[in-house]
């Protein structure tokens, strides 16, 4: 089945569908060639319908949120990308808990918690990405992690069954979870927070955001932290100590503000970023005998 036929079938199903859509429009790195078909579901039924359609016909598909940690090849992605974001982002309060759909951004969710005077999400207010991606990677910052506040996760498994999993059974670890291990798809999340003074929550959130703005290269496109934290070290310090601050390949550069970030200074390609990653890994390994693993997800044809 070619992409033109797929496009017509998905349109007939009433889904929002794009053909040959440049992935650079959908990633924070602003890098990536076209995807054959992009679906943007607006409800859990549309998500389930899209995934089951692809699975039943053996069509390759990829689930993404808002693309905050993706590096997409310049050749793009073959098959179908299902983008779970705007349109699948509702949130509601249930006592001291928030239930949200997986497409809501962490910043929007944190603002909602603030308005409800609920504390626990301050650390996430400046993390780019959706709650679905945050659950998948157990996102964290400033001594907070998703595992600390997740009470339940609703997922779709490989048998097309919708399951509800307790937070303690999610296998959360540094930049990983059961979602990755079992190929699960996050549909919804319940967070357990607690009440506190609005002004205290707001002050904490603003302080963390100021610290991010000071230390992280928010003025350039990037995929967030490029490398995982090696045991006993900090990736950014290793890269800086190796003399790589500001190193460039084309328009890809080791950030001069924070060496743990590789940034796109305007027109970086996939190859620019990969060449720079390879250079950084080699120099750090040769100088310090430490292997840096990428935290960004590399996808595409």
| Angle value at C-alpha 152, between 125 and 159, nearest 5 degrees | 115
Q: Identify whether the C-beta of residue 145 lies closer than 8 Å to the C-beta of residue 138.
A: yes
Q: Is 217 exposed, middle or buried (0-12, 13-18, 19+ CB in 10 A)?
A: buried
Q: Identify whether the C-beta of residue 68 lies closer than 8 Å to the C-beta of residue 139.
A: no
125 is catalytic: no
285 is catalytic: no
Q: How many helices (H) and strands (E) does the chain have?
A: 8, 19
Alpha helices, H only, the chain: 3-12, 44-57, 106-115, 131-137, 178-182, 198-215, 235-241, 270-288
From CA 19, how far away is CA 93, in angstroms rounded?
37
Task: Give which of 280, 268, 292 is closest to 73, Cα–Cα.
Answer: 268
Q: How far is CA 261 from CA 90, 134, 158, 254, in A?
A: 31, 18, 34, 6
What φ, ψ does residue 55 adopt, rounded to 5°?
-65, -40
Catalytic entry in 28, 105, 177, 225: 225
295 is catalytic: yes
From CA 204, how far away is CA 75, in angstroms rounded?
43
Catalytic entry in 30, 175, 222, 255: 175
From CA 226, how far away is CA 216, in angstroms rounded?
12
Catalytic sites, residue numbers: 175, 225, 295
């Amino acid at each position: 089945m070619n992409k033109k036929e797929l496009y017509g079938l998905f349109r007939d199903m009433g889904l929002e569908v794009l053909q040959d859509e440049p992935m650079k429009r959908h990633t924070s790195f602003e890098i990536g060639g076209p995807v054959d078909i992009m679906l943007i579901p607006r409800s859990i039924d549309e998500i389930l319908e899209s995934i089951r359609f692809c699975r039943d016909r053996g069509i390759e598909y990829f689930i993404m949120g808002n693309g905050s940690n993706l590096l997409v090849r310049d050749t793009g992605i073959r098959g179908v990308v299902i983008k779970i974001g705007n349109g699948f982002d509702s949130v509601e309060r249930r006592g001291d808990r928030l239930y949200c759909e997986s497409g809501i951004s962490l910043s929007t969710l944190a603002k909602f918690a603030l308005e409800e005077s609920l504390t626990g999400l301050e650390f996430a207010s400046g993390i780019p990405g959706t709650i679905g991606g945050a659950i998948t990677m157990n996102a964290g910052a400033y001594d907070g992690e998703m595992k600390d506040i997740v009470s339940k996760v609703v997922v779709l498994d490989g048998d097309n069954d919708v399951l509800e999993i307790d937070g303690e059974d999610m296998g959360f670890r540094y930049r990983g979870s059961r979602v990755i291990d079992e190929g699960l798809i996050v549909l919804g999340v319940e967070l357990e927070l607690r009440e506190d003074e609005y002004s205290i929550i707001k002050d904490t959130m603003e302080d963390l955001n100021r610290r991010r703005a000071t230390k992280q290269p928010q003025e350039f496109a990037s995929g967030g932290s490029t490398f995982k934290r090696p045991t006993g070290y900090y990736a950014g310090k290793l890269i800086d100590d190796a003399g790589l601050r500001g190193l460039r390949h084309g328009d890809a550069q080791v950030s001069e503000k924070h060496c743990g970030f590789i940034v796109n200074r305007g027109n970086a390609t996939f190859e620019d970023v990969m060449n720079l990653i390879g250079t950084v890994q080699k120099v750090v390994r040769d100088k310090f005998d430490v292997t840096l693993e990428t935290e960004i997800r590399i996808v595409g044809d």
